[in-house]
Amino acid sequence: MGFLVLVVRIMGRISTFRSYQFLLLLAAMFAVIAFYYFGSERHSFSSTTKRIRQTQANTNRNDADLTVDTRISHLPASEQQRGEELNVGEESDISRSRKGSSEAGGQRYHALMMFTKVDRSRSLQDKFRVAMLSMVKLAHFLEGEVLVLHFVSDQASQELGQRMLQELLQDAPFKYEVSIIFHDVVELTQKLFPIVEAMQKHFSAGSGAYYSESIFFLSVAMHHIMPESLTRIVQLDLDLKYKTNIRDLFQEFDKFPPGAVIGIAREMQPVYRHTFWLYRKENPKTRVGEPPPEGLPGFNSGVMLLDLSAMRASTLYNQLLKPSNVAKLADQYRFKGHLGDQDFFTMIGMEHPELFYSLACGWNRQLCTWWRDHGYGDVFQLYYGCDGPVYIYHGNCNSPIPDD
């Protein structure tokens, strides 16, 4: 109220002032207004400043969360340089390291997982969580060794994966270093399509089916897609649960016999007894599709060891990738599959078993029992049995995985 009275008095005297006096009074009036305005709004101004500072603090916390905590950090310069030289994808900010580990120049262990359409599936997210938590819980590497995790992903799933990995890695008890690399599924598909186009019609369920996309033949031609500096890689499904140190799986590479290019476990259902039905009818004494140990039950691609150097060097393997040879074998075995790379490996394995190292069933202990209830109950257990320790459970066809 006092402010308004002051203004009225000033305005009443304006008519008696000269121009320069008027300007001085006008300046004084603005000064008074400014004083009263900021004086009355002191609380609001202070609150705004507080909100800005809170926002800045929150931004800083979010930046810190990119590395989850002080134990998770960007790769040292030496590792960043090696990642650039590898040139295989986009390296994430997420990594775990022991101080000084990179300087030791230890071995790098590469593992790849398909991570497409995960943003649309709560089921896939839950499976990924089980897989990663069990992996990091039991993993142990030597000083200086690096675990490099590759994810083939679309953009939306990559963003989700980065957030999930921050959560899943933050409480992991391991001390070794983990590097995360995301590969764009579109770019890889463009590179793959010319190589695998001809085989898709033999090993795909049809247009729009899950395995009909070229990317699900990645393992078949990964030696052409990845740089030559990448010599060995393990490809893993998302629906796994690890019961042992994943480093032990990589030691299986050293057991490959001469000529073998891929390590893979047998199929534990009569899938290929069914798929090869016509060939088996025409060849009643064949071992194709028969159960182990004497039969050839085919392969399951849930866990695969890919010796990329051996794949590049194998004249036989690369000849088998040619469309004419794929068509010849498919016709010879009357083969029409729907499981992508797994079908291709199974088919060529019937003709050339020397290309494969047989992983013990415990490295890919499949749990699916679908075929037991669909016409093969009388022989199912002959395929499903797996003696020996279980190293990795595979919850294929949405099968529940035993609790710890």
Q: 194 lies in which domain range?
A: 108-394
Asked if residue 89 is part of any domain, the answer here is no
Element (H, E) at 263: strand 262-266
Question: Structurally, how many domains does the chain consist of?
Answer: 1
Asked if residue 45 is part of any domain, the answer here is no
Tokens of 9: 């008095």
Please tell me the distance from the alpha carbon of residue 307 to that of residue 359, in angstroms, as a whole number: 14
Asked if residue 185 is part of any domain, the answer here is yes
pLDDT confidence of residue 255: 98
pLDDT digits (tens, 9 = 90+) for 355-394: 999 999 999 999 999 999 999 999 999 999 999 999 999 9
Looking at residue 382, which CATH number applies to its domain?
Answer: 3.90.550.10
More confidently predicted of 261 and 81: 261
Contact (Cβ atoms closer than 8 angstroms) between residue 180 and residue 95 = yes
Asked if residue 62 is part of any domain, the answer here is no
Please tell me the distance from the alpha carbon of residue 25 to that of residue 28, in angstroms, as a whole number: 5
Asked if residue 182 is part of any domain, the answer here is yes
Q: Rounded to whole angstroms, what are the CA distances from 309 to 107, 196, 268, 305, 306?
A: 16, 19, 29, 12, 9
What's the predicted TM-score (pTM) here? 0.77
pLDDT confidence of residue 138: 93
Asked if residue 358 is part of any domain, the answer here is yes
Q: What is the mean pLDDT of residues 32-58?
A: 37
Residue 25 clears pLDDT 80, i.e. is over it: no
Please tell me the distance from the alpha carbon of residue 231 to that of residue 248, in angstroms, as a whole number: 18
Beta strands in 24-125 (DSSP E): 90-96, 108-115
Asked if residue 123 is part of any domain, the answer here is yes
Is 101 exposed, middle or buried (CB count within 10 Å of its CB: 0-12, 13-18, 19+)? buried
List the single range of 46-55, 161-170, 313-322, 362-371 with lowest mean pLDDT: 46-55
Q: Which of 160, 220, 150, 209 is nearest to 185 (CA)?
A: 150
Please tell me the distance from the alpha carbon of residue 356 to that of residue 297, in angstroms, as a whole number: 14
Residue 44 clears pLDDT 70, i.e. is over it: no
Q: Where do we find the tokens 């010849």?
A: 328
Asked if residue 348 is part of any domain, the answer here is yes
Q: Which of 180, 293, 306 is nearest to 253 (CA)?
A: 306
